Amino acid sequence: MTARKALGWLRAYVFTIALVYVATLPLEQFAAFPAALHEQVGVARLLPSSLWAALHERFVLTSVKIVLVAGLAACALGLGPYRLLAPASVALFVLHQCLIRIDKSGHGELALLNCLLVLAAFPAADAVALSSRPRNGARPQVATYSLALLLAAFVFLFTYAAPAVYRLAHAAPEIFRDGSMARYVVANGSELRNGTSKFTWGASLVAMGPLAVSLLNVSFVVATLAEALSPLALVNRSFRWAWLAFCLMFHGANLLLLNIAFTLNMVLLPALLIALEFVHDTSQPGDPVAATA
């Protein structure tokens, strides 16, 4: 498979994930919350208060959801003028994220948003699409598709590396030995849970005593180092698959001990790492783009 086709498959997959996420989230129910309760973040701060209030009407929220679902579906299928539809749909997705933020949380959707931004900026619908032929006859350089694959994986991995590097630079080594992890686990792995899963194993683990707390501290160090080194997955194949195994276990532990589910990341990660396998496959017999590049 060439990088062009790999990018096409990745586009279809990522936009489909975004489509399912938006379609299953009851955006219209956020009309029940007064607009004043929503803290404007990012580009939403540029909106006047009157428009911000109007956006929280049930009819408007329903309309935003319908239009966004249609746009994401078109991008997933590669319908119409992708280079216009994709940026417009991603911009509407950003607005969607602003509308559902009652506070500044949203880390669970950040990796998906970053990937969508990259895919919208590249000719990701030149393959695996219902209308894949460039309309003006111009064909991008073959390396463009490889660059898109690398950037999509990088912005995903950056959501892991950035917090870890910041933690190491600003809080290490104290954060690994002051009981922070144990307190965090108790707060989220008990009745004061952060999430909807209701697991209490985190609090039960800490209650087992100092040895369990020490195990958590060591795991915290290992996880931080693995996150900080995550960009190595871009260039080292062995590390890539080892990091995939780590990440799946990492998110499994987060769910069971902290009641934090990074579902979007877990379904995105394998596809992004698999796509990296085709970064250097820029030509093969029968590929019209490679033959004319």
pLDDT tens per residue, range 176-213:
988 888 888 888 766 655 556 677 788 888 889 889 88
pLDDT score recorded for residue 137: 53
> In 3-state terms, what secondary structure has residue 14?
helix
Q: What is the pTM of this model?
A: 0.87
pLDDT recorded at residue 36: 76
The confidence score (pLDDT) of residue 188 equals 78
Q: Kind and range of the H or E element at 220?
A: helix 210-228
The pLDDT of residue 98: 86
- Annotate 222-233 with b (16+ C-beta within 10 A) or e (fewer): ebbebbbbbbbb
Low-confidence residues in the chain, pLDDT < 70? 102-106, 132-139, 189-197, 281-293
